Amino acid sequence: MLRTLQEASGWCYDLLWYLADLRYQRPRFFAGIVALFLLLVALVLIPILGFGSASRPSTSHASAWPDSNGESAGDGSREVRYVPYNGLANSDEENIEDPRGLPAEPGEPRVVLPKLSEVLEEDFNDSDLTFGSDGSEGSILPLDNGVVPSSGPRFSTSWELILPSAGIRAAVVQVGLTPDGAMGSPDNPFVVGWFNRSAIPGEPGNALLGGHRDYQDRDGHVDVGVCWKLDETRVGDQMIMFDQATDRYYVYDVVDIAHIDPDSREAVKYLSQTRESVVTLITCSGDFDEDTHSYDERIVVVGLLNAIAEPDA
């Protein structure tokens, strides 16, 4: 064993001297050897480290829809396979057809997206959407009691939530974890927070959204927040996620509404991922505890993707 190590050490010593001599006598040949070596190393490391694989799209830019093979279509359209919502009881396991004419089976030809007015059950007036903003107010809430940093370009997305039944039109910003490891809430009470560890809106999975029902800012001012009238939403209403980057509307049907204890097992169900494209909007409800400055319940509104549409004009 020792002799083998000595032979290997001597071979490495001779090789280093050879390369050092080659560097001065034939510099171009030496540079070519180095370049070839680096290329071989890169070819080995790329598959191992996963460079070049599809990464999670940034929500501050346009995110193209993946096609049925998981590749980006790039034109804002998508072949969608619709299946029933499986996050709740009483949902079956059979595939259902898309009621809006979008292809339900992989490999079918693409079709023109319907106009937004064609997929809405009821029209809405922008003047009735009085809750929410574009987030230009910035961070006005103290960073405690579940509030996390969420203002500024770093946290912006191209998404906007429209929920006519609750009068909401609000920018969507990214929120992360609180120091305790829970889903954070925005530092601006007029926007909706998208939990950036959940599914991207419009894609398969459960996109978790949260907004404030009311608030007290750093100056002690108390007022209502973006989700003040969320309790007026009913099953069968529609939620709309608008992607400003692709000019596409993603229309969801509200399929479930619940009032839950945030520490209960039922809460875990609504935070879990799904096979379908689902958005889950959460806000505070119930009795307010002056000691903890928090509500004892949460309203949870679940929407299931129904259609993808383009603007009417």
Query: Which pLDDT score, from 0 to 100, does residue 18 have?
Result: 66
Query: Which pLDDT score, from 0 to 100, does residue 108 have?
Result: 53
pLDDT over threshold 60, residue 27: yes
30 close to 22: Cβ distance less than 8 angstroms? yes
221-263 pLDDT, tens digit per residue, is: 999 999 999 999 999 999 999 999 999 999 999 999 999 988 8
39-85 pLDDT, tens digit per residue, is: 777 776 665 554 433 333 333 322 222 222 233 333 443 333 333 44
Residues pairing with 159 in the sheet: 243
For 97-122, letters b (16+ CB in 10 Å) and e give ebebebbbeeeeeeeebbebeebbee
The region, left, alpha or beta by phi > 0 then psi within -120 to 50, assigned to residue 65 is: beta
153-212 pLDDT, tens digit per residue, is: 999 999 999 999 999 999 999 999 999 888 999 999 999 999 999 999 999 999 999 999
Distance of alpha carbon 74 from alpha carbon 86, whole angstroms: 29
